[in-house]
């Protein structure tokens, strides 16, 4: 990669990042990560890092009608990898906790004298959006807690797969839906959106991470599933964590590993715009090629009529798959084109190793 190509990729990725944070992504997570890893590799090999590089800054700025608010603590991201040996090497430094990497919008809530007083989106890591009124109508965000001191909790606003079913006619996926819904200006509409806040850090506590997560559950929060990392059984543990996500109907896009000891975590500090004490492990579902046989129509619990693709059976993760929901006519057209037909070549995955989905088709 030349310097000019690198600079072009930085500009391109910043654009894609902005669209993602606006809830309107234009490329897949896998394509985003591939471009990001290419940029990081160039920086590692050459020692040159653009001031605009997404490896050194979060690009998204608040751009809607919600009030801007400056965070009371840094809301930075984590470095990412999709390479298991890299993860194994990183994990040998300190004992860690592994958590689900929730696929939604990062938010923070604050309590004073036991009462919820504010809520905000991550935004650019320093300045976010004030979503306090919307947080008041999300059932999984406690309005009071049995602690009188200041309490700050970070977590993720998501929409569970089963809750998303009734909205899938108009929206493409739970992540975009949750991100857009919590930022609506109409609180009454937010209340209808079936959003869930999943807590994953008690910022104002100096306990070790596993103790924080237990405390969050005791305080009444829906808390991210976690385990103490098992170094000798990483892949088996990752599969177990994926099934926890499936059982809870959580949309996820990977796992998060964080140093468990609070003092050790804080001692790691910050690398560029990332907390150095954690690492996100991204995983992707393997695509399988097959052929379309038919389109059937299914009536859901809410009365919505959903197209279902029937295709030649393929074995994915040890089970036979031969049908997948396409959610609605708009998405069916995006995936299959204007002329879906018997024999059309399609590619299928099992999202989170469980849910069959068509990712693309030969037009």
Q: How many CA atoms lie within 13 A of 242 on its CB side?
A: 20
Q: Quick one: tokens of 197? A: 């806040």
Contacts of 106 (CB under 8 A, 6+ apart): 75, 121, 122, 154, 155, 156, 157
Q: What is the dihedral of CA 163, 164, 169, 173, to 10 degrees?
A: 180
Please identify which of the residues 8, 44, 101, 345 carries the catalytic annotation: 101
Q: Is 89 a catalytic residue?
A: no
* CA geometry: angle 177, 351, 159, nearest 5 deg: 25
Question: If you search the block for the tokens 């999709």, which residue do you land on?
Answer: 82
- Whether the CA torsion 188, 192, 193, 194 is positive or negative: it is positive
Q: How far apart are CA 344 and CA 338, in angstroms?
A: 12
Q: What is the DSSP string of 312-352?
A: EEEEETTEEEEEEE--SHHHHHHHH-S---TT-EEEEEEET
Number of DSSP helices (H) and strands (E) in the chain, helices first: 11, 18
**Shortest CA distance to 176 belongs to which of 357, 15, 26, 355?**
26
Taking a C-beta distance cutoff of 8 angstroms, is the pair 329, 307 a contact? yes
Q: What residues act catalytically? A: 101
């Amino acid at each position: 990669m030349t310097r000019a190509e690198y600079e072009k990729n930085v500009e391109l990725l910043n654009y894609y990042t902005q669209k993602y944070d606006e809830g309107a992504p234009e490329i897949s997570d896998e394509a985003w990560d591939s471009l990001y890893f290419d940029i990081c590799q160039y920086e590692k090999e050459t020692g040159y890092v653009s001031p605009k590089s997404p490896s050194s800054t979060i690009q998204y700025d608040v751009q809607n009608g919600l009030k801007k608010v400056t965070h009371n603590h840094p809301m930075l991201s984590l470095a990412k990898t999709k390479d298991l040996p890299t993860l194994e090497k990183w994990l040998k430094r300190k004992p860690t906790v592994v958590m689900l990497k929730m696929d939604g919008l990062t938010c923070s809530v604050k309590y004073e004298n036991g009462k919820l007083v504010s809520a905000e989106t991550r935004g650019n890591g320093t300045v976010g959006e004030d979503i306090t009124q919307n947080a008041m109508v999300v059932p999984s965000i406690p309005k009071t807690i049995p602690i009188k001191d200041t309490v700050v909790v970070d977590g993720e606003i998501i929409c569970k797969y089963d809750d998303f079913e009734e909205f899938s006619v108009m929206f493409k996926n739970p992540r975009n839906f949750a991100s857009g819904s919590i930022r609506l200006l109409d609180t009454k509409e937010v209340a209808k959106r079936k959003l869930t806040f999943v807590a994953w850090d008690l910022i104002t506590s100096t306990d070790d991470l596993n103790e924080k997560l237990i405390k969050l559950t005791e305080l009444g929060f829906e808390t991210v599933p976690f385990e103490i990392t098992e170094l000798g059984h990483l892949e088996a543990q990752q599969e177990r964590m994926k099934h926890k996500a499936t059982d809870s109907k959580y949309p996820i896009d990977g796992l998060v590993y964080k140093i468990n000891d609070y003092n050790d975590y804080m001692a790691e500090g910050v690398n560029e715009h990332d907390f150095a004490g954690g690492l996100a492990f991204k995983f992707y579902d393997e695509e399988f090629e097959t052929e379309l046989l038919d389109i059937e129509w299914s009536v859901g619990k809410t009365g919505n009529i959903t197209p279902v693709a029937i295709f030649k059976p393929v074995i994915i993760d040890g089970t036979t798959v031969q049908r997948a929901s396409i959610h609605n006519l708009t998405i069916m057209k995006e995936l299959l084109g204007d002329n879906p037909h018997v024999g059309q070549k399609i590619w299928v995955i099992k999202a989170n190793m469980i849910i069959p989905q068509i990712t693309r088709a030969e037009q």
